[in-house]
Amino acid sequence: MTDTAASPEPKVTVTVELAVPAGKAWDVLGDFANLSWVPPVHRVEFEGEGPGMLRRMYLTADSPAIVERLESVDAESLTIVYSVTENNPLPVEGYLATMAVTPTGPGTSRLDWSCCFEPREGVSEEQAVNMVNGFYGAVANGIRDVLESEG
Model confidence pLDDT, tens digit, residues 97-129: 999 999 999 999 999 999 999 999 999 999 999
Model confidence pLDDT, tens digit, residues 25-81: 999 999 999 888 887 788 899 999 999 999 999 989 999 999 999 999 999 999 999
pLDDT of residue 131: 93
Residues constituting the chain: 151
Task: Spell out the domain ranges in the chain.
Answer: 12-34+73-149
Q: Read off the pTM.
A: 0.89
CATH number assigned to the domain covering 12-34+73-149:
3.30.530.20
Model confidence pLDDT, tens digit, residues 130-147: 999 998 888 888 899 889
